[in-house]
Structure 1
């Protein structure tokens, strides 16, 4: 069963086995998937979080 947790601000992580998807709630109650990767360590790499945050901020600046 998938699990979700808040990463930072509006950014969430969806956990599906070893796979991770970062998403956030966009305008009009739409979810946007920003980035996905296969997790290979206990901690979520900061590089992966930074990629998702950058993409989210680009969308919010439009």
Structure 2
């Protein structure tokens, strides 16, 4: 059964749509895999960040993007936060924002 992709807020989708074409194309390809395989999608496309948060790992010649997501009941995937990665390590502030949004999703 396929999963459904939803966005935490329209601003998350706006951020992703502003990404460079190469990263955006890879993101779209990975999302198709994510909708098909759900929690079974692993590296190099997806990785667990702990606490119920996962990341989609698109890349292009222009750089690297990241989108944090979670799974919800009813085959739903919620994209919580997205950004263009500028350093080797994932900035802690980006992960904190995704964790706050996950709590909001879980608490209704």
Measured against the shorter chain, the TM-score band is over 0.9
Structure 2 stretches lacking a partner, 5+ long: 1-25, 31-44
Which gives a bigger RCO, structure 1 or 2 (Cα 8 Å, sep 6+)? 2
Q: Does 1:20 align with 2:61?
A: no
TM-score normalised according to structure 1 size: 0.93
TM-score normalised according to structure 2 size: 0.55
Of 97, 101, 105, which residue of structure 2 is paired with 1:51? 97
Number of matched residues?
A: 62
What stretches of structure 1 move > 2 A for 4+ residues in a row?
Answer: none
Structure holding more helix per residue: 2
Structure 1 stretches lacking a partner, 5+ long: none
RMSD of Structure 2 on Structure 1 (CA): 1.1
Structure holding more strand per residue: 1
